[in-house]
Chains A and B, each alone.
Chain A
């Protein structure tokens, strides 16, 4: 975080998703929750490696009518494709690390509804945000499945929406295998998401 925050990229008045398009391309992730701006630092190697491995695993198992995408891609619940003016009223935009949704649900610039699956890979900075804030936001928008990867353990925790509330449906660590039925059949082993034990060169 530097003095660049002094610049006037935060416009006056209530923030909407339209304002996010004016944010700098500085490697930070800019998200909006009910008008509260959340700016997360750029990801670390272990985060990107795990997200990348899981993306490939999901992509290979994904049926034709669904798409798997990786961040940054905007989830804007309530965005009405027929009303671009609404962009200046919407106050929530999330960018999950990975997301799965029906192919036909995507617009070119956004997913205007809850994804079928949102995945967050924890990092030291976003641990509280991912485990609580974004999980609560995904729950509220009706996301059926929310997965949390902790690359440090490594582990995968699966939350499933039951009567509008996320329940912890599974938790696997290291070489244990999670066999998902939803949003499509796929097997995930946390150890496979962090195979390169040596990590990056300093």
Chain B
């Protein structure tokens, strides 16, 4: 894992390690960045005082307090929400309360079929997927039910969804892409 920190972030690509498997994702697209910025503003307005939404790519390390060389997993989601006191200087050293992945046609499969299961295993209570390339764009909300994620809400286009965790917030996918 220590080797990961020798990797240059060339071309805006994202480098992540999951159980020792290296994932290299393409640089984000315009739609991805616009939707992510809009979502961050939205999260920031809705957040309660004790919780802090943070823009990615910021490291999430499930065993983050162990020496770097022993770690085999570091993911860098598009956004996280955790208690202010839970952040370390260079990572979230444990499961945040919410992980958001904004996905494009390129990353939908990896975000939905791989990282979702990694966050489930880490026991991240909420996992949101915002697909900006879907037509219409969609938000899919997974929440832990015991040890497994359950799909608890979806919204497509101008539909609106409301979730209670990690704080009450209303989301409309079309609004996130209206810039």
The answer, yes or no, to whether B17 is at the interface (CB within 8 Å) is yes
Contact between A36 and B25, CB atoms less than 8 A apart: yes
Instruction: List the A side residues contacting B24 at CB < 8 Å.
Output: 10, 15, 36-37, 39
Instruction: List the B side residues contacting A135 at CB < 8 Å.
Output: 113
The answer, yes or no, to whether A12 is at the interface (CB within 8 Å) is yes
* Closest Cβ–Cβ distance, residue B120 to chain A (whole Å): 10
Contact between B19 and A127, CB atoms less than 8 A apart: yes
Interface 9-mer from A1-9, A96-104, A168-176, A185-193: A1-9
Question: From DSSP, what is the main secondary structure of chain A's interface residues?
Answer: mixed
Contact between A12 and B19, CB atoms less than 8 A apart: no
Contact between A128 and B23, CB atoms less than 8 A apart: no
The answer, yes or no, to whether A124 is at the interface (CB within 8 Å) is yes
Contact between B113 and A6, CB atoms less than 8 A apart: no
Instruction: List the B side residues contacting A127 at CB < 8 Å.
Output: 19
The interface on chain A, measured as residues whose beta carbon lies within 8 A of the other chain's beta carbons, has a size of 35
- Bitwise, A119-143 to B at CB < 8 A (1) or not (0) is 0000011111101110111001000
Contact between B26 and A14, CB atoms less than 8 A apart: yes
The answer, yes or no, to whether A33 is at the interface (CB within 8 Å) is yes
Closest to B6 in A: A3
Per the bound structure, the CA–CA distance linking A96 and B1 in Å amounts to: 25
Closest to A35 in B: B106
Contact between A133 and B109, CB atoms less than 8 A apart: yes
The answer, yes or no, to whether B67 is at the interface (CB within 8 Å) is no
State which of A15, A38, A132, A140 has its C-beta within 8 Å of the C-beta of B21: A38
**A-B residue pairs, 8 tightest by C-beta:** A1-B3, A136-B113, A37-B24, A39-B22, A133-B114, A125-B20, A3-B6, A35-B106
